[in-house]
Chain A
Amino acid sequence: MNKKGKRKRKKRSKRMLPLERVYQKRHERKLRSKVSSEKRAIYEKEDAYKETINIALAGNPNVGKSVIFNQLTGLSQTIGNWPGKTVEKMEGYLNFLGYHFNIIDLPGIYSLSTYSLEEIVSREYIISEEVDIIINVIDATNLERNLFFTFQLLELEVPMILAINQMDILRKRKIDLDFKKLEKIFKLPVLPVVAVHGTGVHQLLEEAIELVIYHHPHSHYIEGGKNKHEHLSHDYHLREESKIKIAEERSTLKFFQFPDLSSVISYGKEVELRIKDLVKLIDEYRDYFSQFNYPSRFLAIKILENDEEIIKIFNFDDKSKHIIKIAEKYRKELEDLHGEDINTIISSEIYNNIHNIIEKTVLDYTPETIKETLAEKIDHITTHSIGGYVILGLVLVGIYTFTFIVGDFLGGLVEELFMNLTIPIYATYGEDNVWVKLLWDGAMGGFFGAIGGVLVYVIPFFLIIEILQDSGYLPRAAFLMDRVMHAIGVHGKTIIPMILGFGCNVPACAGCRIMETEREKKISIALTSLVPCAAVTTVVLGLVGRYLGLGWVLFLFIINFSVILFIGRILNKVMPGESTELIMEMHDYRLPNLNVITKQTYMRSKEFIFKALPIIIVLGIVLEIMLIFNLLEPINIVLSPVTVFWLGLPIVVGVFLIYGILRKELTLVLLAILATSMGLTILELMTPIQMIVFCLVTMLYIPCFATIIIIAKQTNWKYALQISLMEIAIALLIGGAIFWGYSFFINL
């Protein structure tokens, strides 16, 4: 409000007469100083109290946790419309209403069991004392599944706010929720949020203050309470008083009293009785269990469910081991009674409870909408057994043609500009001037080469990848490709990191975390690191595409994908274990948010500009120095058996291939710099067959340095090294085969 008001005032002052403006300004200054001094006093006092509130965002995958996180912290955590984007918990900070907020974005999970590593990590993190309050983000359009996780969180008895996201979409479907009733049921704050627009996001923080600082779950729906501003968090004077009070109370009231929700979360009679028995046993032994922070009821349920991690806690001494035995007995009784295994029993109990709540709170619910929405129609076409594959093919081809057309056009412009600038510079300073060579040919040549040869391709590429991510197409591709991927030992989900790998292998390899088993993760990483990334694609498009035509580009890509298939098959045979089955949620399509797409494209391109451009400029200068002192020769000669004899490449490219390990686009950029400084075009430097072999080797010969590091981080160094060596061998094998095959035919 304040900011807006200021902006308005400024606008008005522009239109005023000069003298009037002076008066206005003076008046404003007075006013401002009065306000600010008052406020400063408050804030100064507050500084003494300034408290940190630790918030964790938890919820199912793809519900908008990261969107809320970005809205709050202003950071740019990857967001998109597919489950599993957040691979590691991310931390951000913000100051709001005089408090310091520490916000953690957790990866999305479906339950707090021990199915995957993420679930164990999230559970331990939530229960740790680092978290003051959880914001459980819930997708309003998918309430039933999301509340399952909420019910599990409730068992942990950590202060919690329910943020119901995507309310705009739900309301568009003419469905609404009874928030008043929801708050009455859960006895916790329940807030509507539209994260993409930032609606209601800051209310979450207000609510967090109410809960954490004042231990006062505030209800928004007190009758007639609308006129009065009820929030303690906003009342500065009251805050001072209550702070003192709270400081006194703190000694007695140490924790937030979690509301008694037994009427909501209790299960059927048979299960509940046994859980209560177990709780009694655990409570008797509270001294030992209290160190783990888990509530007794949670422990009882999990020991009944035979949770591996919890059993470790109970394996302590005879008395606690005795509880395991009793739990086993109870589990058997229940399983005999219901004829189902214990997880199924408890899950159905929870889903029963959820069903009751949904019946009470979802308003105007029309079960099956008669009219098919546009999103459903698109979904229908894109998963169709023939049309789906046609579209998938078109999408993949479209990525490249779009990038090529835009990049080629802009690249041509940049190149022309560079040429036009070169002529006058050569004319004024002389072509053989050392400084011209260093600064213009080296540094500026590198700069223009990077912009005209790489950046113009990278930006449209990232843009289209972001659109794909945000629209929700990726899970459909996974669905269609599942059968094919099974042939190479993984399931359909692998296609998601692979498509992302077209952009950059580094986040794509990190994204392989969505695979459930270690074996699948390893295979996925190996395959993803072989996918031609944006940098490689620019080399191919900028060299083969520009000088030889798109047909040869296609040829190279076909070779690359055959290699991926081949490696997949081999890894499938070599690696122990079997491939698991696909289980993946398919979220509705949504219109990509322009804001999000431009911002993410900008962030990714910015990374290229700030990380790669300096390297390229410096290397350009270094290259010129090496050329002047003839230092390239020895390195190239050492590499010449491989480059010249085996692959038939010009001797000068040897050192570029080494630079290429750093960043793949360097191979082309440095080649262009060399060509300029030698006064040649690339066509004069390389024959067509050399270009093809050069591009192929660049595509395959090794993952770039950053990718190798991320592979080592995701698995281990040994595996990263194995992948690198394997790829070098393949590149040399195929590159050599093409060269020798070609020379054989020529000699015929």
Chain B
Amino acid sequence: MIRSMNEKFVQKKGFGTPLIKCLTKCKKGEKTKVIGVNAGFRAKKRLANLGIVPGTTIKKKTEAPFHGPLEIIVKGSTLAIGRGLASKIIVECSEICNF
């Protein structure tokens, strides 16, 4: 889904780089902005209550090995988020990156 959206962006605006990616693709220590959450109703509500809403700055602190969860900093506090859920959080691509 992200791929198709990115392709659309690239075609529309003529940029050479994709504009969005999922949170799991971020590097350690990278800071980005949330674009949207592509999850079910309940998960979305839960994340929204914890402050993960479009426009929030999010910093990826670290991730556990073997496809483990991610540690992120949102609204000044640290959250551990399972990888499956993190891959549904779509963030801005701040720099040139592969997806």
Contact = CB atoms under 8 A, between A and B. Distances in A.
B13 interface: no
Interface string A112-144: 010100000000000000000000000001111
A491 interface: yes
Contact of B49 (A111, A144, A491, A584): A111
Given A144-B76, A351-B53, A582 B81 contact: yes
A112 to B, nearest CB: 10
A343 B64 contact: no
Given A115-B42, A385-B64, A583 B81 contact: yes
Given A115-B42, A483-B66, A351 B51 contact: yes
Interface string B60-81: 0011111111010001111111
B49 A479 contact: no
A482 interface: yes
Contacts, number: 122
A584 B79 contact: yes
Given A348-B53, A581-B43, A582-B82, A482 B68 contact: yes
A498 interface: no
Contact of B69 (A141, A348, A386, A492): A492
Interface in A592-637: none
A585 B78 contact: yes
B1 to A, nearest CB: 16
B25 interface: no
B80 A340 contact: no
B82 A482 contact: yes
Contacts of A581: 43, 81-85
Nearest to B63: A385
A586 B78 contact: yes
B34 to A, nearest CB: 10
Interface string A446-484: 000000000000000000000000000001001110110
29 contacts: A113-B45, A115-B42, A115-B46, A141-B76, A145-B77, A344-B53, A344-B54, A347-B51, A348-B48, A348-B53, A348-B54, A351-B51, A351-B56, A351-B75, A383-B62, A384-B62, A385-B62, A479-B69, A480-B64, A483-B69, A492-B69, A492-B80, A580-B82, A581-B83, A583-B82, A584-B79, A585-B80, A586-B79, A587-B78
A179 interface: no
Interface residues of B, number: 37
Contacts of B48: 343-344, 346-348
Interface residues of A, number: 42
Given A343-B45, A482-B82, A583-B47, A385 B65 contact: yes
A580 B81 CA distance: 11
Nearest to B85: A581
B26 interface: no
Q: Which A-B residue pairs are the 7 nearest by beta carbons?
A: A581-B82, A347-B48, A581-B85, A385-B65, A582-B82, A483-B68, A348-B53
B70 to A, nearest CB: 9
A693 B79 CA distance: 44
B68 A145 contact: no
Contacts of A491: 82
A148 interface: yes
Contacts of B42: 115
B93 to A, nearest CB: 20
Given A483-B67, A483-B68, A584 B46 contact: no
Contacts of A110: 49-50
A347 B53 contact: yes
